[in-house]
C-alpha cells in the first residue's frame, strides 16, 4: 500500500529550513515523541528538545536536532516552528 504524502514546513526565526512533501513525521512533543501521517487529526502542541525526523515519498529520511518550538497539524499539512534547528549528520545519529 502506497503511503500518502502531505505538506510539511520546518521554520525557524531565521529561515525556512525545509519545505517538502513527506509521508511521515516524528517530533519530540511536550509529553513525549509523536508521529504524524497523512490526514492526521488537527493538533497544536509544544515541542521539547530532541530529534525531529521526516521521511519523503522516495524514502529519504531527514533528521534535525531542535531545542523546542511548536507543531501544528491541520488540513493535511504539518508546520514546525522551531526556536532553532540543525541537521543531524550520520555520525551524530544514534546506532539503530
pLDDT mean for each 10 residues of the chain (96 residues): 89 96 96 95 96 96 96 97 88 49
According to the model, what pLDDT value does residue 90 have? 56
Expressed as residue numbers, the domain containing 65 is: 6-37+47-89
Beta-carbon contacts of 92 under 8 Å, excluding residues fewer than 6 positions away, are: 65
pLDDT at residue 89, rounded to an integer: 75
Whose grid coordinates read 517530533? Answer: 27
What percent helix, strand, coil does the chain show, rounded to 5? 5, 55, 40
Number of separate domains in the chain: 1
The CATH number linked to 61 is 2.60.15.10
pLDDT reported for residue 44: 96
Q: What pLDDT, on a 0 to 100 scale, did the predictor assign at position 27?
A: 97
Tell me whether residue 31 is in a domain. Answer: yes
pTM of the complete model beyond 0.85:
yes
Output the pLDDT for position 91.
44
Amino acid at each position: 500500500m502506497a503511503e500518502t504524502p502531505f505538506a510539511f514546513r520546518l521554520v525557524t526565526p531565521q529561515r525556512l529550513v525545509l519545505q517538502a512533501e513527506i509521508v511521515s513525521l516524528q517530533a519530540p512533543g511536550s509529553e513525549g515523541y509523536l508521529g504524524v501521517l497523512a490526514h492526521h487529526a488537527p493538533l497544536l502542541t509544544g515541542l521539547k528538545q530532541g530529534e525531529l525526523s521526516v521521511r519523503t515519498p522516495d524514502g529519504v529520511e531527514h533528521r534535525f536536532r531542535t531545542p523546542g518550538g511548536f507543531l501544528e497539524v491541520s488540513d493535511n499539512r504539518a508546520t514546525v516552528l522551531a526556536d532553532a534547528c540543525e541537521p543531524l549528520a550520520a555520525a551524530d545519529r544514534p546506532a539503530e
